[in-house]
Every structure is written in structure tokens, then in C-alpha cells.
Chain A
Amino acid sequence: MSSSAGASRPGPIGRRLPGWARPLDAERRGSGSLRRAEATIVILFGVLLAVATVNDLVQQTHVNHRLAADLLTWRTLTGHDYVNLDIEQDVKSYTTRDVICGNVSPGAPGERAQICLRLTGPVIEGKRAVSGGYYLPPKLTDAYRDRYACFGSAASAGLCGLTSQPAGAPPAPALKTGVP
């Protein structure tokens, strides 16, 4: 911001305006207090943005921490080291309950029957507790009507729409709950 003398060049419009409203070619000298006020507002707003950014980063870090633990838990419990797993994280209501689904046998993501695990609680040694789970037929998204063979918390909450496993589906054993 230039602090040179505010040489006024009032044209036909400027001449009719009061002094405080006249157009200027450059800022008047002594506009330091205005400049300080502007800088203060910009700095305060910058601090708000910085706090919001760091807060978001911390939240995202917690979510990632949970995500990494969920993946490791699923891989440990199922014994499959698959990369493409489908995770639904509850990041809005802070329940820490996530559902993670993956194939029961090798194949493209979702192309085989899938096992879904419900995970809750804190991260303990890089893993989280499995509270229950269920199975899904191939090529279907996670919906009540398609779930079968519920176990643990999923069984007690009645999350399965199918009472028996579909014909031809691979074995669907109940997996151990708790931290694997």
C-alpha cells in the first residue's frame, strides 16, 4: 500500500462530492491506523483459518489411524492380504464404528462373496476390536436385504435380511470377535 500524499484529481464527479468521498489518485499520508486495522483483521482471520486447517488435519489423521487399523484387523482375521477393501467409516457421528468388506477368495474387488466386519473401539497395537460381521453375495453393495450369516453384534442387532446363505455360496463361518 502506497503511503504517498493523496494527490486528489477531482473530476466533474469528484468536485460535487464531500472531501471524505472524493476520488484520490493515491492514498493520503497518515493512513497507518487504517492499515493497522486491516492487517489486524487479516491476521485474526488467518489465525482462524490456521486453527481450522490444523483441526481438520488432526481429525483426518485420527480417521487415517483408524483406517490403517481397520485394514490390518481385516487382513489378520481373514488371513487374506488383499489391497482393495471397501470401507465405510462413520466419521460424522463419532461412534468409531466402521464396516470393512472384502472378498472371501481371490478375485477382482466385489467379484466374489464378501465378508464384512464391524469394528469398534480404540486402536490397540495397530488393530481394533471386531464386534461382529456378516457375508454378502458377489457383486452386491452392502444392503440389509442381501446380508447373511450374521455373527456377533451384527446378529444381535438383526442386520441380516437373509435367514440362510444363498445357494452355491461358499462356507460362511462366524469369525472370532474381539481384537485379533
Chain B
Amino acid sequence: MSLGLVAERPRKPGGEATSAAAQRRAKLLAGAFSLLMLAGTCEIVIDASVGHSPLVPKSPSIAKWLGLIGERLGYRVFLIALLVMIGSYAGILLLAANRRVQAISTRWAIALIAVLELIVFIGPILLSTDVFSYIAYARMGVVHGVNPYIDGPHSIFGDPVYKYVGSDWRKVATAYGPIYTLLTYPLAALGVTGALWGAKTQALLASAGTLALTWRCARMRDIDPKLALLIVGANPLYFIYGLGGAHNDLIMTLLMMGGVVLALAGREASAGAAIVVGGLVKATAIVPLPFMILSRRRLAPILGAALAALFGALLALAVFGIHGVDVISALNRDAGFVSTDSFPTEIAHLFGKPGVFPVDHDLLKAALVMIVLYLMWRTWRGYDWVSASGWTLLAIAVTSTWLLAWYTLWTLPLAAVSRDRRLLVATFAVQALFVIHQTSPLLVPVS
């Protein structure tokens, strides 16, 4: 069975009874997989609401009422729930891709994703302190009059949000784009709890928008939209890590997918502008722009992008000064970070090195540049620019020495609407390896 692009086989005579039985079985399986996904999500959210877990960052109690029936979330329970959900997700995708049985209706797919996202939305922040950095940067600018592009949250150590900011990020100025920083400014006045709900709402709306655009994009490209929707929306890393952490990557993907849909609709100037605005949320969103320009070979996307960049630069300059425009130094700083989950670190360990060295960073950058140049050449020679953008985002995640679960989500909407199914397989493979790397507490529990 391949994902969604299989032509129907001719039916054998007398196969209708078998087909009805197969249909019933498939529907039962789809129901079971959906229930398992819901159960896994509830388990994680309810147990996380208890707090006092290394998987749940210190946070204001926004979901304590849920924790009344839960237990402290440990690695073992979390990983088992995650693996069950991933298995169910795979099962749901295979059923949805099988055109001979209509196991999952569109309504079912939308309802499943909506319920999964709502469960995560009402729960606590999961697996990351990033959202508190977003709030801290907003409060620095709005409440304390401190430029978040110059100082880190340590400059507001008396602020109520400070104690929730991750210890690694307290002295780090924001690396996010000026549009995102401005989007968070209205949250600053709501207090920490209000801002937290505000950031969660932003993430939820961005996720819903990304899913709607993925659907639209798939339809425009004659790809099964229901399958594309499920690939993104029912992906456990998407809603547990991405939405659970209220990451701004969801806003970035919303604008990126907006740009892709606009380009496919022939509104190329707006497409170029949307992608640049996405880049002004988080720089990675800019990736599709060169591929779109090479594929279209028209002036409109270049002009749209240039105007949006000019507008963004002037806005950043007016509000944040020259530091708000200096994206390169922020990216260079972040490129030096190293996480134990990154593939370069794993490869270094494989070859007996304790970790990555500065020379490795240079080699990785060179490899990434070569990949991008090759993909640009392929796009120039007719390769699908959406797929080329997806491969580039995947290459960025794989060559980055700082890999987090939500970085593997950048590619997902593009892979779901790509005509090159190798991209989807590669994206799933990278996500699978990321999850496998997390499973050591399951193999040898430590208490």
C-alpha cells in the first residue's frame, strides 16, 4: 500500500461480501486506533497536570483540576503513551491511504484532530520552557521597557515570569523575528497566566490554520486532502510537542503554508510577502522563497518578498532599533548550540568523539549549502519547488547541532502535499529516529 497515490484495482467477481466485511474490519480498526490516540493523549495531559515531572516545565497551575485524577508523569508512561499513539497514527494513515475501504471519513478525521488538539490545549505546557521565554521577551518590551533583542530575561529577574524561563535561556536575547515579538506584545499585559493562555490560543489557531491550508494545498495539487490533513494533524509530535509546548513554529508554518497556497493560486506577489512575513516570525520559514522564485521565474514573488522585507525591516528598526534587524548574528549564535538529540552529535559519538567541535559546525554548514544549491539546480530544471523546500527544511533539521522535536515538524505540511513521496518517508524516518533516541528510560528505568 502506498500513501494515497494508488490506483484502484479491478474488483474480483463476487468480492462484494468480502469487501463489506473488509470495510467493517477497517472501520473497527480505525475506531480502535482513534481511541488509542485519544487515550494516550489523555494519559499524558492528565498526568502532566499533576506537575513535579521532568517532562513538565515549572509553570503556573493552569490545569490543576485535570491533575486530580492523574499521577506524576514519568518517562516510562510518557514514552509508552507516545509509542502507542505513533503506532495508532501509522495505522490510521495506512487505513486512510487505502482507497478500497473507506475506513475514515473526512468528518471523522476532522473530529479526531479537533478533539486531540483540544485535549492538549486545555492541559499544561508540555516538554519545553520556550513559551515562558516568549512571554518574558514580551514583558521585557511592554512592562519593563527593555529591548528583547539586546538583553535576555535575566534583565527582569524580579518579574513573575522569570522563574519559569529555562535556565539555559535566561541570559539569551531573543532570536525570533520582530513580527513574532510584536505578536506577543499584547499578551504581556495579561499577567503570566493570561499570557500563557494567550500563547496557547495563538498556537491552537495557528495549528488550525496550518491544517486548513494543508487541506487546501493538497486539493490544489490533486493530492488526497484527508490524508494530508491526517498526516499533519494526527501526528503525535505535532500536537504533543508542537501544540503542547505552544511553540511559535506553528505560526511560522501557518505563514509558510499560506505562501505556498497563494503561490499555487497564482497570487505570487502575496505569496512572496507571506513567506517573508513567516521569516519575520522565525527565520526558517524563508526557505521556500528561493525555490518558488526559481520555479516561477517571474518578478512578482521577488517584488512581494522585497516589499515585505522592507516593511519588516522598517518596523523592526522603528520598534527594536538596529538589533531587531540583525537576524544573522542571532542565527549564528543559535547555530553554535549543541543538543544531545542532534544527529551530528550522534554521528560524533558513533565515531568515538565526545561531541561536535567548531570544525564540525563548518563542515555541516558546507554540507547544507551544497544540498541547497543542488535542490535549487533541480528546481531550475523542473523539480517540484514545494518538495525542494521540504527537503531543505529536513536538511536543516538533520544538519543542525541543536535538534528539538518540533524542528522535525517544519517539513511535515510540505511533505504532506509534496508529489515526491520520498520526502514524506524521509520526514517520518527522521521523526522515528528522534523518538527512538528518547527511549532509553523505557529500556532501563532510573529512579
List the interface of chain A (C-beta within 8 A of B). Answer: 1-2, 6, 11, 13, 23-28, 38-39, 42, 46, 48-57, 59-61, 63-65, 67-68, 71, 83, 92
Contact = CB atoms under 8 A, between A and B. Distances in A.
B387 interface: yes
Given A51-B350, A92-B354, A46 B429 contact: yes
Given A56-B349, A59-B349, A92-B354, A42 B422 contact: yes
Contacts of A67: 446
Given A25-B382, A39-B422, A56-B349, A49 B297 contact: no
A61 B443 contact: yes
A56 B346 contact: yes
A48 B347 contact: yes
A53 B436 contact: yes
Mostly, the B contact residues are helix
The list of the 8 closest CB pairs from A to B, nearest first, reads A24-B382, A64-B444, A52-B346, A60-B440, A27-B382, A52-B350, A1-B420, A56-B346
B342 to A, nearest CB: 10
B433 A27 contact: no
Contacts of A23: 294, 297, 380-382
Mostly, the A contact residues are helix
A26 B382 contact: yes
B367 to A, nearest CB: 10
Interface string B364-390: 000000000000000011111001000
Nearest to A22: B381
B383 A27 contact: yes
A27 to B, nearest CB: 4
Interface string B403-447: 000000000000000011010001001100100110111011111
A110 B78 CA distance: 29
B27 to A, nearest CB: 34
B439 A57 contact: yes
A92 B354 CA distance: 6
B343 interface: yes
B297 A11 contact: yes
B444 A65 contact: yes
A52 B343 contact: yes
Contacts of A61: 440, 443-444
A113 to B, nearest CB: 24
Contacts of B419: 1-2
6 contacts: A23-B297, A23-B382, A28-B381, A38-B422, A49-B430, A83-B447
B443 A52 contact: no
A125 to B, nearest CB: 15
Given A1-B384, A1-B387, A54-B436, A68 B446 contact: yes
B343 A49 contact: yes
B318 to A, nearest CB: 37
A28 B382 contact: yes
